[in-house]
Amino acid sequence: MAGKDGQDPRIQKISSAIRVIPDFPKPGIMFQDITTLLLDTKAFRDTIDLFVERYKDKNISVVAGIEARGFIFGPPIALAIGAKFVPMRKPNKLPGEVISEEYSLEYGTDKMEMHVGAVEAGERALIIDDLIATGGTLCAAIRLLERVGVHVVECACVIELPELKGRDRLGDKPLFVLVDGA
């Protein structure tokens, strides 16, 4: 597993704390398991610190985290930078009025939802998830926030799978990642 160029010495430890599980959820997929990172208190702390250092002076008022692993990284970042946390959820989980955005899967489609009124037009947002693969989920999150007039400043993930070209799919939206799942 490679770290990104240029790098902060904390990155190597974060990278090696991530466990790779072959053939999950199906044959041929090398699953990047962040649960082992969460067991390493220093590496987990460093992960959060790296994001907080990047975003704390960027006037971000919203951290949107994608269900479910985005819920693990998003709230600590939100709390540290003074932003609110907004969960972006699978259908029928959020109890109040929602807006929905459909997105493509390998086979079929899925939907992502956000509560109406959670964010306001003009707010500056960060979107967080554990990993970017094809970028489909992140694109849906960007569209949801932009539909209500929010400015998405950046998407942030712990891990990128570069061969799946998710970065390109995000178009003009910047992407910040800590490690490559190469």
Q: Which residues bind other proteins (CB under 8 A)?
A: 19, 21, 24-25, 31, 33, 35, 38-41, 44-45, 48, 67-69, 71-73, 75-76, 78-79, 82-87, 89, 92-96, 115, 118
Report the nearest approach of other proteins to the CB of residue 77 (Å): 10
User: Any catalytic annotation for residue 102?
Assistant: no
Residue among 63 and 170 whose Cβ is closer to other proteins: 63
Report the nearest approach of other proteins to the CB of residue 114 (Å): 10
Residue among 125 and 170 whose Cβ is closer to other proteins: 125
User: Any catalytic annotation for residue 106?
Assistant: yes
Contact 112, 90 (CB under 8 A): yes
Out of 10, 53, 106, 120, which one is annotated catalytic?
Answer: 106
Report the nearest approach of other proteins to the CB of residue 156 (Å): 16
C-alpha distances (whole Å) from 122 to each of 65, 96, 119, 140, 150 are 19, 22, 9, 19, 5
Residue among 41 and 171 whose Cβ is closer to other proteins: 41
Match 């932003």 to its residue by tokens. 83
The half-sphere exposure of 2 on its side-chain side, counting CA atoms within 13 A, is 8
Task: Locate the DSSP E strands across the chain.
Answer: 19-22, 30-33, 62-66, 84-88, 98-104, 109-115, 124-132, 151-160, 175-180
Out of 54, 69, 147, 154, which one is annotated catalytic?
Answer: 69
Residue among 2 and 21 whose Cβ is closer to other proteins: 21
Q: Annotate 65-75 with b (16+ C-beta within 10 A) or e (fewer).
A: bbbebbbbbbb
Q: Could you give the residue numbers annotated as active site?
A: 69, 106
